[in-house]
Amino acid sequence: MKTRKTVRKRPRRPASMLGISRIDQPEKHTHGWFVRLTRQGRRHTAFFADRKHGGKARALVEAEKGFAALFRKFGRPAAK
Position with higher pLDDT, 68 vs 18: 68
Give 30-49 pLDDT, tens digit per residue.
999 999 999 888 999 999 99
Neighbours of 30 (CB within 10 A): 14
- CB contact set of 46 (below 8 Å; sequence gap of 6+): 34, 35, 63, 66, 70
Give 4-33 pLDDT, tens digit per residue.
777 777 777 777 678 999 999 999 999 999
pLDDT over 70 (residue 1): no
Question: Model confidence at 58, in pLDDT bands (50, 70, 90)?
Answer: very high
What pLDDT is stored for residue 80 in this prediction? 64
- CB contact set of 59 (below 8 Å; sequence gap of 6+): 32, 33, 48, 49, 50, 52, 53
What residue segments make up the domains of the chain, in order of their start? 18-74
